[in-house]
Structure 1
């Protein structure tokens, strides 16, 4: 469990069988390697906790759900090995969500970019608000959504995944994401979203843990090779991120984010 309100945090809390895992970063809930490691660790720990029946994954605040990889850290990656180690963090989080025997509800209260879309795709049931637009910006940076790609494609299909992966500067509305299967539900307010999450979580608390574990195993059938696959994808991203064009693009975006304080 990481608690650092200046540099971000990962915290969890269990109440009557429902465990909420929350992550936070002051830059639009982006994810540096440190938080990715903490998030993967917390997911595994909670997933093996007998007191936990269902998990809610959320981020702090009422704006962006997750801006993806932390640009400040991306801009400092010096070599392919460091690049692999960083992107491996996203692989570890997705695989943690995949292998734990507990169902995970995603609370998507705002925009998702890059790895944030990957998180929304890797939960078992995503409930979002109308403002939860999505964008896969990786190709515009000279990288590509390689690590999160299998999770996103699994949820929305190859055609829809190719659309958002290729047109990397275009925002897609939350209704588009719901129609493609990324979001299970959309609500016009945070209050409505939270009511629905509470309803579903409390329903699942009274459901057989063995039945939910078996259902999850069936739902993730065919992904058993992802431990290897996502690491292979992390190697691709790790090589690309140290290219001159990519580093220049990342620095340009990072500077703009810092100057304007916006989610890119």
Structure 2
């Protein structure tokens, strides 16, 4: 696997969305756009009763924002547009009337933690440590912050946001409520994801839709909020501090 992709399949009413990028499953604009579009599409498909969101490969679930795209941003409008990609994916997940199961097989960083936090139910392996690295680059997890805070609370969010160089263990993530369960192997993870997805297919779709709305109550302003956050990130990525940080990582 060398070429980036977003693909989906429907198997016995289970919609499976998989994304991949050779740079540790990082997320450039085109992948983010396709993810939001696919989540919305499967959410509106009556044949689909539950969605599983996963990434390709075994090592990393998601490395967050595309480094290559970050360093190429040269104006605020482009910066806002890039970070709004994360906003669009999170909002697509929030509005989707189906439950979304996250399959987190490995480490997840930055925007990837935001994706995991926007899942309705996350299962992971013992290798799925998490890190919010944005402050270390001078940006801050502004767009994904509301999703992370909603899932693990202000205290948990502040810990991983402030300690931006540290990977927090899957056990820590489970304690905080990000992961429902952690498995020793990818095989065990896949078995659990499949069993849960099949179980959710037996639920009344109308009840699921109302439950989903209930779980996400209080987030109705996120269309505007996350775009405001994208504007902040788009401005900060142009700062002298961040440009120097990105250059040092590139070199």
TM-score normalized by the length of structure 2 = 0.98
Question: What is the 5 A alignment of 1:148-187?
Answer: 148-187=144-183
Question: What is the 5 A alignment of 1:60-209?
Answer: 60-209=56-205
Partner of 1:243: 239
SS at match of 1:206: coil
Contact conserved, 1:72 with 1:254, CA < 8 A, in 2? no
Partner of 2:39: 43
Residues in 2 aligned to 1:7 and 1:26: alpha-carbon distance in whole angstroms: 7
TM-score normalized by the length of structure 1 = 0.94
Which residue of the other structure, out of 7, 12, 19, is the alignment partner of 2:8? 12
Residues in 2 aligned to 1:6 and 1:94: alpha-carbon distance in whole angstroms: 26
Residue 184 of structure 1 deviates from its aligned partner by: 0.7
Q: Does 1:216 align with 2:212?
A: yes
Q: Deviations over 1:174-204 (max 9, x none)?
A: 0000000110111011111111101100011
Partner of 1:25: 21
Which residue of the other structure, out of 214, 229, 236, is the alignment partner of 1:233? 229
Residue 6 of structure 1 deviates from its aligned partner by: 4.2
Residues in 2 aligned to 1:130 and 1:167: alpha-carbon distance in whole angstroms: 21
SS at match of 1:49: coil
CA distance 1:245–1:7, change in 2 (3 Å) = farther
SS at match of 1:143: coil
CA RMSD of the aligned region, Å?
0.8
Residues in 1 aligned to 2:182 and 2:207: alpha-carbon distance in whole angstroms: 26
Report how many residues are paired.
251
Residues in 1 aligned to 2:203 and 2:209: alpha-carbon distance in whole angstroms: 11
Residue 254 of structure 1 deviates from its aligned partner by: 3.7
